[in-house]
A and B are shown apart, each in its own frame.
Chain A
Amino acid sequence: MAKLILDGAIVDNQWQRLDADALANGLPDGKVIVPLDYWQSHRQALLERTDVGVCLEPGEEPRDLVDDLEALPLVAIHFPAFKDGRGYSYARELRTRFGFKGEVRAVGDVLRDQLFYMQRCGFNAFEVRADRNIEEALSGLKDFSVTYQGDVNDPRPLYRRA
């Protein structure tokens, strides 16, 4: 089973992420992550289940899910390229604006050198790109011990901590 980083540890990936093509044959059992438009068009039925998460693409914002966040166990945010930084703002909004408590998972072009930032913005799960060493990537979460700004894990900026 593929691995991912969850809450600072390497664990088995329990979730299957499916795109529109894969879903054309219907929704399988078990933990699945579906695209936003699939979620929206099957919302009523999917809300019956507790093992369906939604994946946001760049341009699809957390507010598109605002009524469902209470019910959702997981929101994935897709980085088609690591340089597309919209997902950082989305994660932050999920956590601080909408108070989302479930798993926020980074998927796609997820690499060691961005993990520290991602974690600070509210991601707690990372599907590190398959061709990279996940153990090595794990250390990216500890690049810095000092931060100036507040973040999702501690909203206080340095000048309010002390």
Chain B
Amino acid sequence: MYVYQEYDQQLLEERVAQYRDQTRRYLAGELSEDEFLALRLQNGLYIQRYAPMLRISVPYGLLASRQLRRLAHIVRTYDKGFCHVSTRQNIQLNWPAVEEVPDILAELADVQMHAIQTSGNCIRNITTDEYAGVNPREIEDPRPWCEIIRQWSTFNPEFAYLPRKFKIAVNAVADADPALIGVHDIGVQLVHGANGETGFQVWAGGGLGRTPMTGAVIGEFVPWQHLLAYLEAILRVYNKYGNRDNKYKARIKILVKALGADKYRELVEAEFAELKDGPMTLTAEEVDRVKACFTDPDYRTVDTAEVDAKLASDKAFSRWYHTNTRAHKQAGYRAVTLTLKKTGRVPGDITDEELEAVADLADQFSFGELRNSHQQNMVLSDVPADQLYALWQQLDALGFATPNLGLLTDIVCCPGGDLCALANAKSIPVAESIQRRFDDMDYVHDLGALDLNISGCMNACGHHHIGHIGILGVDKKGKEFYQVTLGGRGDKVSLVGEKMGPSFEADEITDVVEKIIHLYVEKRLENEPFIDTYERIGMAPFKERVYG
């Protein structure tokens, strides 16, 4: 994990002081609503339907156990005792008081956390694969690069008032897109050049929300030394030419689309030509310094005989193992996902006591670290196989061992109309209704890999466009309706799904999902996952089944 230097800490403390003063001036009437709005958003504070919402930054999803304990303390002291894991790997509090936010920030700063740039029209948290650093398929650990980008983007003076929000993700897996770089404003793909040197393929112009689309490759191969200069070039072009008159046309995707990728590249290359080899050029010393924060923990030799025996004899354990744990680059280790998706739990929600329990588990089983995933789960990334059985029993007792990772009931779902002021419709009850309908775990397993995502409005916080099945809440004359998309992907590639047709009422939507599933079961070939069946047979049969 990145180790804070004195200056990193100093910066956070100065930030707390600055924000405390901004809040004071706002409460004293010295700042207008509109002026404070921009300032508080840059600090992740929204005013929501019932209360403010504070989004706490979790850089590339990585958390230490002491940070989890501090979060537990914060949600207990300043909120209602629970928080929410967001689809951008952050943590959200739903009920903080505006006046108390400076105190919350001070508590966070103590453990090297903050809410800097978690909202607003600036560069947001940098995200990556939740298995970064342990994924056997990655070509290199992406986290040091995420951290380098994080520092460059933090209070970058030129890019604090962009036309619109700006999200960057980094991926290091060659043949899959676990970081969803295809649907980010900038996607950074780690690649190796002809001589094995590290470089980046840089995408721009992807995004969900209104007008979802995948990005285009702008930089084919950017040598590592020039990563920041290249990003700066892309941002400067966007800052100058992005649309500022219409918020719905302000994302970089619209600009890239309007100019065309070739023209955008030409503008970027012109900026880049000036920045390249300038003072922004990364030094080997700096990269090594950051990389040294992400070295392997003390792995040991693990005897797997016992766990192999358990796998053969204990069916429930075996199911969990095969569903909720993933291969690890280190022999004898597994990455374990804690599914925050047990029926009855709001997807991604976790209480103060649970945070503390998870912190203990991280200390006991996984070198004191944990990650948030963009599927709103949590990951213990370095668990020795001989500890898996003991861990599983504890997770089961806590309700974090529901063996549904990547399956239909592992629903990704934004807070929606129950909490969010922007929502057109509720999303949480829809998720729960679907989970209740598909309560037979054998059946859910038989269905295999299936991503179902729900967003309460066009903003797509639930990433509905990239769900194999996506559900979007829409408002029709004050009534909640739901639109269904099929064929989205956020797995091997990022792909925007296709709208099925007219939307459905709340009490129809679970039946619709069931019809879609039934058709899939009828049509699938042996071992064919849902998304492959969909890509083979297309939309028409699904449409016919649902509307026919």
Contact surface of A with B, Cβ cutoff 8 Å? 58, 61, 82-86, 88-90, 92, 97, 111, 113-114, 116-118, 120-121, 143-151, 155-160
Cβ-Cβ contact count across A and B, 8 Å cutoff: 96
Contact A148 B154 (CB under 8 A): yes
Alpha-carbon distance A85/B278, docked complex (angstroms): 24
A117 touching B160, Cβ below 8 Å: yes
- A83 to B161, Cβ gap below 8 A? yes
Contact B11 A149 (CB under 8 A): no
Q: A88 to B156, alpha carbons, bound, how many Å?
A: 11
Contacting B18 at CB < 8 Å: which of A86, A111, A144, A159? A144
Stretch from B88-96, B101-109, B279-287, B510-518 forming part of the interface with A:
B279-287
Task: Give 20 pairs: A residue, B residue, CB < 8 Å, sorted on A.
Answer: A82-B38, A83-B38, A84-B161, A85-B121, A88-B157, A88-B159, A88-B239, A89-B236, A117-B160, A118-B157, A146-B7, A146-B10, A148-B151, A149-B157, A155-B278, A157-B152, A158-B7, A159-B283, A159-B286, A160-B283
Question: Inside 8 A of B244's CB, which chain A residues have their CB?
Answer: 58, 84, 86
Q: How far is A155 from B229 in the complex, measured between Cα atoms in Å? A: 13
Q: How far is the CA of A144 from the CA of B8 in the complex (A)?
A: 12
Distance in angstroms from B226 CB to nearest chain A CB is: 13
Q: Are B39 and A85 in contact (CB under 8 A)?
A: no
Q: What's the Cα separation between A56 and B310 when bound, in Å?
A: 72
A63 → chain B, closest Cβ, in Å?
A: 11
- B157 in contact with A121 (CB, 8 Å): yes
Closest Cβ neighbor of A86 among chain B residues: B240
Q: Nearest B residue to A140 by beta-carbon distance?
A: B18
Give the CA-CA distance A160 to B283 in the complex, in Å: 8
Other than the given A86-B244, A88-B161, A149-B152, 20 more pairs (CB < 8 A) read A82-B38, A85-B158, A85-B160, A85-B161, A85-B239, A88-B157, A89-B236, A89-B240, A92-B158, A113-B22, A113-B31, A113-B39, A114-B160, A117-B157, A120-B157, A146-B10, A148-B11, A148-B156, A158-B151, A159-B282
In the complex, which of the residues A82, A121, A157 has the most CB atoms of chain B within 10 Å of its own CB atom?
A157
Contact B239 A86 (CB under 8 A): yes
Q: Answer yes or no: B274 CB below 8 A from chain A CBs.
A: yes
Listed residue (A114, A149, A156, A158) with the most chain B CB atoms within 10 angstroms of its CB: A149
Complex partner residue of B279 from A86, A144, A160, CB under 8 angstroms: A160
Q: In the complex, what residues of A have CB within 8 A of residue B285's CB?
A: 159
Answer whether A145 and B158 are a contact pair too, CB < 8 Å, given A83-B38, A89-B240, A160-B283: no
How far does the alpha carbon of A113 sit from the alpha carbon of B286 in the complex, in Å? 31
Shortest C-beta distance, B156 to chain A (Å), equals 6
CB contacts (< 8 Å) of B240 on chain A: these are 61, 86, 89-90
